[in-house]
Structure 1
Amino acid sequence: MVGISELSKKVASTTNTTQKKTAEIITAFLKETVESVNAGNKVNLADFGIFERKEQKERVARNPKTREEIKVPAKDKFVFRASSAIKYKD
Structure 2
Amino acid sequence: MLRSELIDTLHAENQHLTRRDMERLVAVVLETITQTLEAGARVELRGFGAFSVRERKARAGRNPRTGETVQVPSKHVPFFRTGKELRHRIDAASKK
- After superposition, what is the alpha-carbon deviation per residue over 1:32-83, rounded to whole angstroms, capped at 9, x for unaligned? 1100111111000001111111100111111112211111111011222122
* Structure 2 counterpart of 1:23: 23
* Whole-Å separation in 2 of the counterparts to 1:51 and 1:12: 25
TM-score (norm 2): 0.82
Unpaired runs of 5+ residues, structure 2, are: none
TM-score (norm 1): 0.87
* Structure 1 counterpart of 2:9: 10
- RMSD between superposed Cα atoms in Å: 1.4
Unpaired runs of 5+ residues, structure 1, are: none
Structure 2 residue 40 is the aligned partner of structure 1 residue 40? yes
* Whole-Å separation in 1 of the counterparts to 2:3 and 2:38: 22
* Structure 1 counterpart of 2:52: 52
Residue 85 of structure 1 deviates from its aligned partner by 2.3
- Percent of aligned positions that are identical: 28
